[in-house]
């Protein structure tokens, strides 16, 4: 293996980590929501809202942390709205989610233009107002070791804090869902809300908590997109990642660790396709840029169409719970 090939692999894997982060966070959000029985198409809108608010607040205050906090508050409010429609009023959850996506798509541009007058963008952020790459302890010492060093400093290390939070959220999701009483009840309410209700536990309150957690996670994911991965908000910058995360969640059968691997797979293919741009392939020639850009979406459809599309969702997923009188 020659050296350039080796660096290609390292940088592709490093990019995989960065591209997968919002997918992982949104997929975990989806798992919390859907495990409690609430379908959440609005992951997309919440990522976009989080991206906009964090970039706007960071631009005004100069603080990435305030941006993150504001993004989480706003995405939790959107979650409450989704909950109000689908839990309190038994509305159609998919329609509510689509409504939120369209509202956010419009509002981010309306507010962006009204506040910053830059045709919907937010001002470019200085590095001090962003989440910047961290250096893992001992990078200098381990970095000099041939292969291990590269893996440690470039694939595992060298990312910003939110990337690590994303991976931490997977462990946390697993622990909450499968090791706590709250998680047990949350899963129960997604399978058989009536049984939970009969046991004297509030179905609505459990589901509200689930969608609020989804709000927190998507807020972090959105923040990552605009002020960690990029340095400003650009209109429609979530570009379908919320939907791809939903596909990853389905592919991962509503389980945290498999959903993380599904997100990583999407991220890897995305990173790989960026590498393929402008590369001549023997026999085919150069692949059009547009084909490469369409690849994540085509893959999402292909994965939903494959065996995993038939995966079994939580039984009460998407069904409003109407208490009998």
Partner 1 sequence: MRRQPLPAWADIILIPLINIALALLVAGVVITLIGENPFKAFAVMFQGAFGYAEGVGYTLYYATNFIFTGLAVAIAFHAMLFNIGGEGQAYIGGLGVALVLLAFDHVLPFWALLPLAIGAAMLFGAAWAAIPAYLQAYRGSHIVITTIMFNFIASNLMVYLLVNVFIVPGSMSPESRVFDPNAWLPTVHDFFARFGIDVAPSPLNLSFIIALIAGVLVWLFIWHTRWGYAIRTVGFSEPAAEYAGISTKKIIMITMLLSGALAGMAGINEIMGVQHKLLLDFVAGYGFTGIAVALMGRNHPLGIVLSSILFGALYQGGADLTFEMPNISREMVTAIQGFIILFSGALTYMSRPWLERLFGLFVRDTPTEEAPHGR
Q: Residue from 20, 101, 173, 273 that binds partner 1 (CB under 8 A)?
A: 101
Give the 3-state secondary structure of the chain: CCHHHHHHHHHHHHHHHHHHHHHHHHHHHHHHHHHCCCCCCCHHHHHHHHHHHHHHHHHHHCCHHHHHHHHHHHHHHHHHHHHHHHHHCCCCHHHHHHHHHHHHHHHHHHHHHHHHCCCCCCCCCCHHHCCCCCCCCCHHHHHCCHHHHHHHHHHHCCCCHHHHHHHHHHHHHHHHHHHCHHHHHHHHHHHCHHHHHHCCCCHHHHHHHHHHHHHHHHHHHHHHHHHHHCCCCCCCCCCCHHHHHHHHHHHCCCCHHHHHHHHHHHHHHHHHHHHHCCCEECCCEECCHHHHHHHHHHHHHHHHHCHHHHCCCCCCCCCCCCCCC
Question: Smallest gap, in angstroms, from Cβ of residue 247 to partner 1?
Answer: 6
Does 321 interact with partner 1 (rule: CB under 8 A)? no
Q: Could you give the string, one character per residue 56-95, with x where binding to partner 1 holds by CB under 8 A and - elsewhere?
A: -------------------------x--xxx--x-xxxxx
Q: Which x/- pattern over 174-213 shows residues binding partner 1 (rule: CB under 8 A)?
A: ----------------------------------------
Among positions 110, 141, 171, 257, the unique one binding partner 1 when judged by CB under 8 A: 110
273 to 292: interface string for partner 1, x by CB under 8 A: ---------------x-xx-
Q: How many residues bind partner 1 (CB under 8 A)?
A: 47
Closer of 13 and 303 to partner 1 (Cβ): 303
- Here's the x/- map for partner 1, 133-162, by CB under 8 A: it reads as ------------------------------
- Return the residue of 75, 153, 229, 300 that touches partner 1, per CB under 8 A: 300
The residue ranges that bind partner 1 (CB under 8 A) are 41, 81, 84-86, 89, 91-96, 98-107, 109-111, 113-114, 120, 239-240, 243, 246-247, 250, 288, 290-291, 293-294, 297-298, 300-301, 304-305, 309-310
């Amino acid at each position: 293996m020659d050296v350039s090939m080796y660096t290609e692999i390292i940088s592709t894997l490093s990019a995989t980590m960065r591209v997968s982060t919002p997918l992982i966070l949104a997929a975990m959000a989806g798992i919390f929501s859907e495990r409690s029985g609430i379908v959440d198409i609005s992951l997309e809108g919440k990522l976009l809202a989080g991206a906009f608010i964090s970039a706007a607040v960071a631009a005004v205050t100069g603080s990435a942390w305030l941006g993150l906090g504001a993004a989480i508050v706003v995405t939790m409010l959107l979650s409450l709205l989704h909950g109000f429609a689908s839990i309190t009023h038994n509305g159609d959850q998919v329609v509510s989610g689509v409504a939120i996506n369209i509202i956010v798509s419009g509002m981010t541009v309306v507010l962006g233009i009204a506040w910053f007058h830059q045709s919907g963008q937010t001002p470019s952020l200085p590095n001090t107002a962003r989440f910047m790459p961290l250096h893992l302890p001992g990078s200098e010492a381990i970095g000099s070791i041939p292969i291990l060093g590269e893996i440690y400093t470039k694939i595992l290390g060298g990312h910003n804090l939110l990337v690590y939070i994303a991976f931490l959220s997977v462990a946390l999701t697993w622990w909450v869902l499968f090791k706590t009483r709250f998680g047990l009840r949350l899963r129960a309410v997604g399978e058989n809300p009536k049984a939970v209700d009969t046991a004297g536990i509030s179905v609505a309150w459990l589901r509200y908590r689930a969608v609020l957690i989804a709000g927190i996670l998507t807020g972090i994911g959105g923040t990552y997109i605009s002020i960690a991965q990029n340095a400003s908000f650009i209109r429609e910058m979530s570009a379908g990642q919320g939907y791809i995360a939903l596909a990853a969640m389905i592919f991962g059968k509503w389980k945290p660790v498999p959903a993380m691997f599904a997100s990583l797979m999407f991220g890897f293919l995305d990173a790989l396709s960026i590498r393929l741009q402008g590369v001549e392939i023997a026999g085919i020639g150069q692949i059009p840029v547009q084909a490469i850009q369409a690849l994540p979406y085509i893959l999402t459809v292909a994965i939903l169409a494959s065996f995993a599309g038939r995966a079994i969702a939580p039984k009460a997923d998407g069904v409003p719970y109407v208490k009998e009188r």
